[in-house]
Structure 1
């Protein structure tokens, strides 16, 4: 699913779910499309971004979350608290 440079990314197993996750230390929220990887929110920034239909939202740091969103959904905010990146999807 993720294509391109994976220089800072590693795989780890989530101890709660047992699912293997791809982790990254870039502290950013990305939308992944089939054509390109586009970065919208980086560490320390707070802003709202409208998403395109069927984009996958990734909250990336030591934790990564994927969420299928609709064209009217948006990413509301990101905040780094210790080692966790958080975003609300509305």
Structure 2
């Protein structure tokens, strides 16, 4: 997901100096860097569902803060579609392995 063309707005936490009211509106921020650190720690994501929940929160935050006509909102929607497709194919592959 990190290398996807629409991932660029989500690679780092939102900088409050650039977007002063972001953390007033978004109370539970998420970004790809934070998710990567959590994956690398091997302790935070006890289940795959926890990882998916953080990704969904990242997408929802982008759509909550930004209006539909912004590039950030559009990137969020496209990246989420890519993410969901990858998750679905991973789940299907896992189901085939278990059969």
TM-score normalized with structure 2 length = 0.22
TM-score normalized with structure 1 length = 0.24
Higher helix share goes to which structure? 2
Whose RCO is larger (CA < 8 A, sep 6+)? 2
Higher strand share goes to which structure? 1
Q: Which has the larger radius of gyration?
A: 2
